[in-house]
Amino acid sequence: MPAKFLIIHKSAKKNLLKLPIKIHKKVISSLGRIKNDPRAGIKLHGELGSYFKSRLGDYRIVYKFNSRKSLVEVVKIEHRQGVYK
C-alpha cells in the first residue's frame, strides 16, 4: 500500500544536501520507491524497532511508516558508519 505523504526531517534534508550528486540522485529515486512501498525496507531491531532502513551502497535511509496516517517520515540519511548513533 503506497503512502500518501512523505516527510523528510530537517536534519535528514540537511544531510541530503551535503551528499555527492551521484548519491543524492540515488537517494531521491529511492525515496520515491519508499513512498510507493514503505514496508519493502528492512525492519530495524532494538531501540530502533519501529523504524525501517533502505540501503544505498554505503548510505542508509532510516524512516518510520505510520499506516493509519499513510505517512512515511524520513529521520536520517547518512553514511552507514554513523547512521545508527
pLDDT in tens, the chain (85 residues): 899 999 999 999 999 999 999 999 999 999 999 999 999 999 999 998 999 999 999 999 999 999 999 999 999 999 999 887 7
**pTM confidence score:** 0.92
Per-residue buried b or exposed e for 14-48, using 16+ beta carbons within 10 Å of the residue's own CB: ebbeebeeebeeebeebbeebbeebeebeebeeeb
Angle between helix axes 21-36 and 10-18 (nearest 10 degrees) is: 140
pLDDT of residue 7: 98
Residue 84: exposure state from Cβ atoms within 10 A (0-12, 13-18, ≥19): middle
pLDDT score for 30: 96
